[in-house]
Structure 1
Amino acid sequence: MKVEGEEKRYGLLLAKKEDEYVKEMYGGYFNVFVTAFGDDGERWDLFRVVEGQFPDTNDLQNYDGFVISGSPFDAYGNQDWILNLCSLLQTLDLMNKKVLGICFGHQVLCRALGGKVRKSCTGWDIGIRKVKIMKDKSPCISFLDGLDENLSALSIIECHQDEVWQLPVRAEVIACSDKTNGEMFIIGDHILGIQGHPECNKDILNNIIALFLINGSIEKDFAEEVKSKLEIVEPDRKCWERICKSFLKG
């Protein structure tokens, strides 16, 4: 059990294989997430759930929170590791542990807690998109209190072709965009799903676009259009990092 005054401890549930470019340039996805959401004096542990590495059930009580990464896999898939991840998320929900889901993590949280996920009817969403924040939606979103009162939308990097279709019964949407209705949802004060990538920068996204081109996931014309738009807009990364840290540590 956590003792008052102990260092805060978080776990990253990594749902994707390591990328050589990200490993070379940023030290791997674990470092990307810890740089975005971590603070001095904290302990962060890595669990490569995509490879079947999960935290010990008896150790869950010692964590202050977990972050679930994005993934090229479908959150509605039935691979063993995805089913095991859903089971873990159900346990963490019952324990009222803070859980932040990013992209795939947002979607698999939805599935695990009773909602539904599907392929987007409007295809890929890759690039930077304005997300409308509904700050007055619920008393549970005090982690948005630090935002400028006049700020009603934030730009975020997106890279997905699946989407939340039906929310869990207890969930509430707190952000939307012109592409995706459920950009963010909360459950109580301990579950937060974000469809976009607050941890990601444009360099990492450009690398992902290059990989998508190589494996045939997207067409060249579409990739060039996305890259040209990336040159003239910036994501509100600092605001998103502040939101995520405030949620995890509030």
Structure 2
Amino acid sequence: MVNMIPKFPEEELMNNDSLMEEANRVLGKGKGKRFAVLLCAEDEPEYVKKKYGGYFRVFVNLLREEGENWDVYKVARNEFPKNEELEMYDGFVITGSCSDAHSNDVWICKLLNLLYVLDSLKKKVLGICFGHQILARALGGKTGRASSGWDIGLRTIHISSSSNKQFSTYKIPAMLNIIECHQDEVLELPPKVEVIGRSNKTTVEMFRYGDHMMGIQGHPEYNKDILLNLIDRLLQKDYIGDIYATELRANLMESHDPDKEAWRKLCVNFLKGRL
């Protein structure tokens, strides 16, 4: 563990995995607010590690503000914060994963137990993609395969009227474009959960539970470059076929960019208790 993540040039990141691994452990120092990324990706793409420093750095670049401390726990590798460490964190981010949120792998069951504790502590929790689904499951909902199949590419999210009034304070529009990459979704809502975002593909694109937990099905942290690499990986693993992959690439290149700055404002203000 280190106190400050160095700003490596891209070529150094490419040639020094051990340094990158150490640097990705903690970002920041001092007495500022502390947040943790619960990394649910079992194996990170080499491309993302080399070009962006890994998913942890992708999330930190999106969400970190001056003076904050950011840690990472590789929960998919059974690395979890201890119960006595939870109080020192102001919030948690649960990432995407190739695993199913409805499975009962050991680490997924441990993550569910952690989320029960975080709920009881009223800690801020932001779930992204798999994180959105596992958060819904922890709160009593049901997840599984989407009947409409894969959703990969740019999707327009329609924010509910009640949430739009609140979001407009930060100049967040009522319709937001986001990158999607999932074949699972929230099938049944947990009790007392409010749906705050929908699309023409997925009914539960965003939800909120009280003022301390929020799920987003899409990927506010992704850009087109990351998704193009992910499409290649899905093709290599035979999750999708050649024709579909070619179609996805063409559609993505012709589409608008995601509303990344608006998503940054939304996620940051939620995590920091301003939303």
Counterpart of 1:242? 265
One-letter amino acid of the structure 2 residue matched with residue 20 of structure 1: E
Displacement of 1:180 after TM fit? 0.2
The one of 188, 193, 197 equivalent to 1:171 is: 193
Residue of structure 2 equivalent to 1:64: 90
* Number of aligned positions between the proteins: 242
Per the TM alignment, residue 6 of structure 1 is displaced from its structure 2 partner at its CA by 3.8
Q: Which consecutive unaligned segments of at least 5 residues does structure 1 have? A: none
1:118 corresponds, among 135, 138, 144, to 144
Look up the equivalent residue of 1:190 and give its one-letter code: H
Matching residue's letter, 1:156: I
- 1:45 and 2:45 aligned: no
Normalised to the residue count of structure 1, the TM-score between the two structures is 0.94
Q: CA deviation at 1:144?
A: 5.5
TM-score, L = length of structure 2: 0.85
Contact in 2 for aligned 1:143/1:247 (Cα 8 Å): no
Q: Secondary structure at the match of 2:110?
A: helix
Distance in 2 between residues matched to 1:30 and 1:61, nearest whole Å: 21
Tell me which of 2, 7, 11 is aligned to 2:36. 11
Residues 21-60 of structure 1: CA deviation (Å, up to 9, x unaligned)? 1000001111000001111211000000000000110010
The one-letter code of the counterpart of 1:8 is: K
Larger mean Cα displacement after TM superposition, 182-191 or 17-26: 17-26
8 Å contact kept, 1:7–1:42: yes
How far did residue 143 of structure 1 move?
5.3
CA contact (8 A) 1:116 1:166 kept: yes
Q: CA RMSD in A?
A: 1.5
Greater percentage in helix:
2
In structure 2, how many angstroms separate the alpha carbons of the residues matched to 1:82 and 1:31? 23
1:225 CA drift (Å): 1.1
- Correspondent of 1:228 among 247, 250, 255: 250
The whole-number CA distance in structure 2 between the counterparts of 1:137 and 1:226 is 31
Could you list the runs of 5+ residues in structure 2 that have no partner in the other structure? 1-29
Q: Distance in 1 between matches of 2:175 and 2:159?
A: 6
Q: 1:101 to 1:189 in 2, by over 3 A?
A: same
Distance 2:270 2:113 in 1: 23
1:206: how far off?
Answer: 0.4
- Cα shift readout 1:192-216 (whole Å, capped 9, x = no counterpart): 0000000011100000000011110
Secondary structure at 1:129 match in 2: strand
Aligned residue among 164, 170, 177 for 1:146:
170
